[in-house]
Every structure is written in structure tokens, then in C-alpha cells.
Amino acid sequence: MPGKATSVMKSGAKRLLARTGFDIVRSTRPRGGVDDFIPFEATMRAARAAGLSVGDYIDEVMNGTPGATRSTIEELGALGVFAADPRTVLEIGPGSGRYLEQTLKECSPSRYEIYETAAPWADYLVETFGVVARPVAGWSLAPTPDASVDLVQAHKVFNTLTFLGTSRYFFEMARVTRPGGRIVFDVMTESCLDPAAVRAWATRGGDGHDSYPAAVPRRMCVDLFATLDCDLEAGFLAPMGVASTEVLVFRKRD
Ligand SMILES: C[S@@+](CC[C@H](N)C(=O)[O-])C[C@H]1O[C@@H](n2cnc3c(N)ncnc32)[C@H](O)[C@@H]1O
């Protein structure tokens, strides 16, 4: 099994480098979704061999975008997301934990919950960062009570889920956020889809995943969250795959 994982990693990394960055490798059983997250053992080994943290390895080597995670976190910091000193953080789909690790450099929550389908990565995050892994069932955050979280985030997740999965998570994110709390996530909106970007995706993107990259209209997000008492505070672009994704920051009304 380790040999198989290594060869998957090598050929996957080659493809990934060739098209300057995507977080997911093709699995032997394509499911068209993000359930096939990058293999745990092989990625950790490759990061160690490169002398990098796993987050830096994904940014620099796999995605060809050094510092991309840090840069998003710094933008969020400049927007005051961490100055609010979130005591409870919830992250959907943290994967390797590259955003989680950077988030913990900016604030010291007493509780950090994750919802992650890739069990080896979830176990690693629990062991390494002392976060609490909640069971994933569909697109629900049911184990988390209403209005109990100061910062809810998801990075590079909704570009890979289906419309229904993403929409269902949106309702849940608004439900668990306390008044005054923030909701941060990125989606591939129309801001990321000029003709050159669409051409780049059509010719060089996607690689084996039917649901990646999924587009979500910005207007839909703004209008939907407004009905859930959450107002858009800011949006900025971040690199993703062969083009970009838009990070949106919402605040739940007091
Ligand atoms: C493209 S990866 C992004 C990982 C990480 N946020 C990052 O940017 O490096 C998508 C992540 O979502 C996870 N995932 C897939 N389906 C999910 C679901 N229904 N609920 C929670 N996480 C899910 C995958 O296992 C993977 O870790």
C-alpha cells in the first residue's frame, strides 16, 4: 500500500505542478468530488523530504503558489477577523490543516471544531493541534449548537462540492454562528471567471474531478446570507488552480 500511495503521489504531483496547482489528486476510484483528498502518508513523507511543513509543501511544491495560505490569512487579519479574538472556531474541510495552522498563529480559541471527511487527516489534526473532530453526515453541522461559534471558515472546499452540498452547508454555517461572529469561505464566483480564466480552466483545469471547480454566483451568496442575518463585509481574490477563487467575509448581525 505505501508503494501504491507513493506512485499515486509522484504522478499526481507531476500533473499538479504541470498545471500550477490543485489540491486534489486523481484517485483510483474517481468519485467526482473531494472525498479523494491527497493521500496522508505520502504527502507527509514528501513534505518531510522537502524539509517543509505540510502546509508550505502544498503551497510551494504541489500548488506552485508559495505563501498563498499565509497571504489569505493576512488579508483576513487586515479585515479584523482575528482582532475580534474568536473563542470558538469551526472549520469545514481543513484537509492538511494549512489554514488551521495559520489561524492558530493569529488567535487562541478555546475550542476549534473541524468537520473533515478524510479520516487520516482529521486524526492528524486532532493529535497535532488538539482540535475537536465532529462526525460528518451529509452537509450538516448538527453536532454544533445554534449561535455557538465566533468564526466559521472553509477554504478551497466549496469549489469542490456540488451546488446542493455547498448550499446546505451555507444554511448550517449561518445557524451555528453567534451574533457578531464571522463566516469566511471562498467560492469561484463570476469575479474569477473572465473569458481568459474560463479558457484556462477548460484547457488546463479540473483533472479528473467532475465537481471541480464548481462555480457559485456571488449574488446568490450575498442574498442568501442576508436572509440569514449575515452581511457581506469584504471579498478578495486568492489563487486557485489555474486561476482564482473569491474569499468572502460575512458578519452575523447582533
Ligand atoms: C480541496 S480540499 C481543501 C483542504 C484544505 N481546506 C486546504 O485548503 O488545503 C477539500 C477538503 O474538504 C474535505 N471534504 C470533502 N467533503 C466534505 C464534506 N462533506 N464535509 C467536510 N469536509 C469535506 C476533503 O476531505 C478535503 O480535506
In DSSP terms, 36 is beta-bridged to: none
Residue reference for cell 455547498: 166
pLDDT at residue 241 is higher than 90: yes
Could you give the residue range(s) of every CATH 3.40.50.150 domain in the chain?
68-252
Higher per-residue pLDDT: 220 or 207: 220
Q: What is the mean pLDDT of residues 94-121?
A: 97
Q: Using a 6 Å cutoff on CB, does residue 118 contact ligand 1? A: yes
Integer Cα distance of 147 and 140 in angstroms: 15
Q: Whose CA is nearest to atom 12 of ligand 1?
A: 93
**Angstrom distance (rounded) from CA 201 to CA 141:** 31
pLDDT band for position 211 (50/70/90)?
A: confident
Specify the ligand 1 atom closest to the Cα of 23. Answer: 1
Name the average pLDDT for the chain.
Answer: 88
Say if ligand 1 is within 6 A of residue 99 CB: yes
Q: Is the CB of 93 under 6 A from ligand 1?
A: yes
Helices (H), the chain: 2-18, 40-50, 54-57, 68-78, 98-106, 119-129, 163-176, 195-204, 218-227
Q: For the ranges 25-29, 85-89, 201-205, which has the lowest average pLDDT?
A: 25-29
* Domain boundaries 68-252, CATH class: alpha beta
Decide: 10 and 62 in contact? Cβ < 8 Å.
no
Buried b (16+ CB within 10 A) or exposed e, 191-212: bbbeeebeebbeeebbbebebb
Q: How many whole angstroms from 113 Cα to the centroid of ligand 1?
A: 14
- Strand pairing report for 177-187 and 243-252: antiparallel
Q: Rounded to the nearest whole angstrom, what is the distance from the C-alpha of residue 35 to the centroid of ligand 1?
A: 7
pLDDT at 139: 96
What is the CA(117)–ligand 1 centre distance, in A?
A: 7
Residue 3: pLDDT over 90: no
Which long-range contacts does 226-233 make (Cβ < 8 Å, 24+ apart)? 228/170, 228/171, 228/174, 228/175, 229/174, 229/179, 229/253, 230/174, 230/177, 230/183, 233/79, 233/182
Is ligand 1 within 6 A of the CB of residue 24?
A: yes
CA 96 to chain centre: 10
What DSSP line would sit under 6-74, residue for residue?
Answer: HHHHHHHHHHHHHTT--S-PPPSS--SSTTSPPPHHHHHHHHHHHT--HHHHIIIIISS-TTHHHHHHH
Verify whether ligand 1 is closer than 6 Å to residue 117 (CB atom). yes
Beta carbon of 25 within 6 Å of any ligand 1 atom: no
- CB 231: neighbour CB atoms within 10 A? 12
Residue 163 banded pLDDT, cuts 50, 70, 90: very high
- Which residue has its alpha carbon closest to ligand 1 atom 10? 157
Distance CA 108, CA 98 (A): 16
Indicate whether 19 pLDDT > 50: no
Give yes or no for residue 57 CB within 6 A of ligand 1.
no
In sign, the C-alpha dihedral spanning 139, 216, 184, 120 is positive
Q: 473533515: which residue's cell?
A: 116
Phi, psi for residue 201 in degrees, rounded to 5:
-65, -45
Q: Confirm or reject: Cβ of 97 under 6 Å from ligand 1.
A: no
Q: Can you name the residues that pair with 89 across neighbouring β-strands?
A: 112, 151
Q: Single out the residue of 54, 22, 67, 76 nearest to residue 207, CA to CA.
A: 22
Q: Calculate mean pLDDT across residues 66-72.
A: 97
Read off the pLDDT of each residue in 223-235 and give the average, rounded to a whole number. Answer: 98
Spacing, Cα 198 to ligand 1 middle (Å):
23
Residue 160 Cβ inside 6 Å of ligand 1? The answer reads yes
Sign (positive/negative) of CA torsion 8, 13, 16, 21?
Answer: positive
**What pLDDT, on a 0 to 100 scale, did the predictor assign at position 36?**
63
Residue with cell 453567534: 178
Q: Is 247 in the pocket of ligand 1 (CB under 6 A)?
A: no
pLDDT of 234 strictly over 90? yes
